[in-house]
A and B are shown apart, each in its own frame.
Chain A
């Protein structure tokens, strides 16, 4: 089964909002509200920022939000800050056999 599809890169200026899409199929993203997002600064441990499509772990800024429509999940970052510049990965449950799929990652550049 193919990985989830994310744009390779997105960019935005400080204070702006950006959205990163994560497109799967009716067998994964479209069937389950079990999409999570991770922020990954290279060389560091990835950090969970969204789980179960819309939920934020304790301590994660409310500038991060998640949503889903059909087979596509989205991560929105509002009020962009320089520290948001990072790689972002989505993840979705894909049924009991495959179990989980990840996206290819999106590099966010804050201009």
Chain B
């Protein structure tokens, strides 16, 4: 059974860098695309970026200048870095597996709340 688990600090200071890791189990990270999605409190979901195991990436134009997504095939995990964070980046961050052809997110993590505070 495919499982994803987000990990990382729950509190980040304004202007610093948010760093999260998604550990994948039950399947190899190879041959799939993997993505980050977030949900600010009281708001809808927002796609952040995706990555292929080969390292090919695509990110949301509104976040592109601040986002770095990477993959570690040896440890079967992928990561997100979002720099220069502000209060508006406070959200529950989810990692998921994505079929980029059908734009389908078939397995998700439970999410992790990251609060940006001064």
Cβ-based interface call for B65 (8 A) = no
When the two chains form their complex, are residues B102 and A34 in contact, meaning their CB atoms are under 8 A apart? yes
Residues of A within 8 A of B47 (CB): 99-102
How many A-B residue pairs lie within 8 Å, measured between CB atoms? 60
Query: In the bound complex, how far is the Cα of B44 from the Cα of A105, in angstroms?
Result: 6
- Of A12-20, A45-53, A65-73, the one contacting chain B is A45-53
A97 contact set on B, CB distance < 8 A: 61
Distance in angstroms between the alpha carbons of A15 and B60 in the assembled complex: 40
Instruction: Report the interface size for chain B: residues with CB under 8 A from the other chain.
Output: 22
**A91 interface residue per 8 A CB criterion:** yes
Nearest-neighbour CB distance to chain A for B72, whole angstroms, equals: 22
Give CA–CA (A57, B106) in the complex, Å: 9
Label chain B's interface by main secondary structure. strand
Does the CB pair B45–A102 fall under 8 Å? yes
Most B CB within 10 A of own CB, among A3, A99, A105: A99
Name the residue of chain B whose CB is nearest to the CB of A50: B104
A36 to B101, CA, bound (A): 12
With the chains together, A102 CA to B38 CA distance in Å? 11
Bound Cα distance from A57 to B105, whole angstroms: 11
A69 to B90, CA, bound (A): 35
Q: Give B102-118 interface residues, CB cut-off 8 Å to A.
A: 102-111
Chain A stretch 68-111: residues in CB contact (< 8 A) with chain B: 89, 91-93, 97-105
Q: Is the CB of A45 within 8 A of B44?
A: no
CB neighbours (8 Å) of A91 from chain B are: 45, 103, 105
What are 21 residue pairs bridging A and B, where the CB atoms are less than 8 Å apart in the complex? A3-B44, A3-B46, A34-B103, A36-B102, A36-B104, A45-B107, A45-B108, A45-B110, A45-B111, A46-B105, A47-B108, A51-B102, A57-B106, A89-B45, A91-B45, A91-B105, A92-B103, A98-B60, A102-B37, A102-B46, A104-B43
